[in-house]
Amino acid sequence: MRNNREERREGLRERLLAVTTARIESQGLSQLKARDITAEAGCALGALYTAFGDMDELVMRVNTATLIRMRELIAPVKGETPVARLQAQARAYIAFAMEHPRLWAALFEFQLSPERALPDWMQAEQEALMGLIAGPLAQVFPALPPEDLLIRVRIFFGAVQGAVQLALQDRFIAVPRARLDAEITALVEALCRGFAS
């Protein structure tokens, strides 16, 4: 049975992914150890390397799954206007970040070795997430050529992401949820109104 083999292999992969996701969510990326993961998953240390190339790949699989979860949350968000839609999307982003702070933090705490290439499947998901705001942004800036829109999307996404990150992980100035929502909503409004279309 070829089937049986691949099923077992896939089962191990899924168990490892689930355990790793749970451990990142409960203790953070920095506390992640291969020995803890395999012990909790009920397999040998070396088994991890039969399912994934290395720890980096495992973490990137978890992060990609996180990006997918975020995309599935943000994609259906609607709005009466393109701007209202972008604002609602930003609030959905905040909601996820506050609900799963360590999973969300792992997205940027993880640093791939500089010489290694980002896997296609992760790059694709990053672009898919950014693609969610490309549509509304194209409506807000109808005169912008496609290649300029790519840059604008990144500036926009980076601005929202950076503001949320600084607000949420600042240890000294606690920003209440409602206040953060209001600030980021205003931020999106400002970006849409203020940029040259």
Positions that interact with a copy of itself (CB under 8 A) = 28, 30, 108-109, 111, 113-114, 118, 123, 150-152, 154-167, 170-173, 175, 179, 183-184, 186-187, 189-196
User: Which residues contact DNA (rule: CB under 7 A)?
Assistant: 1-2, 4-5, 8-9, 12, 32-35, 43-50, 54-56
CA angle 171, 32, 92 (to 5 degrees): 55
- As measured in angstroms, the least distance from the Cβ of 113 to DNA is 9
Distance CA 23, CA 38 (A): 12
161 Cβ partners below 8 Å, 6+ apart?
A: 93
Task: Identify which of residues 47 and 187 has a Cβ nearer to a copy of itself in the complex.
Answer: 187
Q: How far is the CB of 170 from a copy of itself (least distance, A)?
A: 6
DSSP 116: S
Residue closer to DNA, measured from CB, 13 or 71? 13
Within 28-81, residue ranges assigned H as helices are 34-41, 48-51, 55-74
116 binds, among DNA, a copy of itself, none (CB under 5 to 8 A by kind): none
CB nearer a copy of itself, residue 40 or residue 183: 183
Nearer to a copy of itself, 6 or 170 (CB): 170
Tally of CB atoms within 10 A around 196: 6
CB of 109 to DNA, least distance (A): 14
* Crossing angle of helices 146-169 and 82-99, rounded to 10°: 40
Spell out the residues 6+ positions from residue 5 whose beta carbon is closer than 8 angstroms to its own: none
CB of 150 to a copy of itself, least distance (A): 6
In the list DNA, a copy of itself, none, the entry touching 133 (Cβ below 5 to 8 angstroms by class) is none
For the four alpha carbons of 127, 30, 93 and 143, in that order, the dihedral sign comes to negative
Minimum CB separation of residue 74 from a copy of itself in Å reads 17
> Of the two residues 12 and 62, which places its CB atom closer to a copy of itself in the complex?
62
Structure tokens given for 56: 């980096």
